[in-house]
Structure 1
Amino acid sequence: MIQLKEILTPSQVVVNAHVTSKKRALELVAQTIAENCNELDVHNLFEHLIERERLGTTGFGNGVAIPHCRIENCQQPIAVVLKLTTPIDFDAIDNELVDILVGLVVPNNATDEHLQLLKQIAALLSDAQACKQIRSSTSSQELYQILTNGVSGI
Structure 2
Amino acid sequence: MPIAEKLTARDVILDFPTDGKRDLLQALAAAVAPEAGLPEIEILDALTARERLGSTALGRGVALPHARLSGMDRPVMRFLRLRRPIGYEARDEEPVDLVILVLWPEAEAEGFLPTLSEVCRSLRDPQVLRRLRASATPEEVATLLRAGEA
TM-score scaled by structure 1?
A: 0.89
- What percentage of aligned pairs have identical amino acids? 29
Is 1:15 the counterpart of 2:17? The answer is no
Q: Which residue of 1 aligns with 2:95?
A: 97
Q: Which residue of 2 aligns with 1:83?
A: 81
1:7-86 mapped onto 2 (5 Å cutoff): 7-35=6-34, 37=35, 39-86=37-84
By how many angstroms is 1:38 displaced?
Answer: 5.1
Q: What letter corresponds to residue 22 of structure 2 in structure 1?
A: K
Q: What letter corresponds to residue 70 of structure 1 in structure 2?
A: R
Report if aligned partners of 2:36, 2:72 keep a CA contact under 8 Å in 1. Answer: no
Q: What letter corresponds to residue 130 of structure 2 in structure 1?
A: K
Which moves more between the two structures, 19-28 or 66-75? 19-28
Report if aligned partners of 2:36, 2:76 keep a CA contact under 8 Å in 1. Answer: no
By how many angstroms is 1:97 displaced?
Answer: 0.3
By how many angstroms is 1:111 displaced?
Answer: 2.8
Gaps of 5+ in 1: none
Taking only aligned residues, the RMSD between alpha carbons, in angstroms, comes to 1.6
Structure 1 segments of 4+ aligned residues over 3 angstroms from their partners: none
SS, match of residue 112 in structure 1: coil
Gaps of 5+ in 2: none
- Count residues in correspondence: 149
By how many angstroms is 1:16 displaced?
Answer: 0.3
SS, match of residue 88 in structure 2: coil
SS, match of residue 91 in structure 2: coil
CA distance in 2, matches of 1:100, 1:140: 13
CA distance in 1, matches of 2:5, 2:29: 19
By how many angstroms is 1:41 displaced?
Answer: 2.0
By how many angstroms is 1:89 displaced?
Answer: 0.2
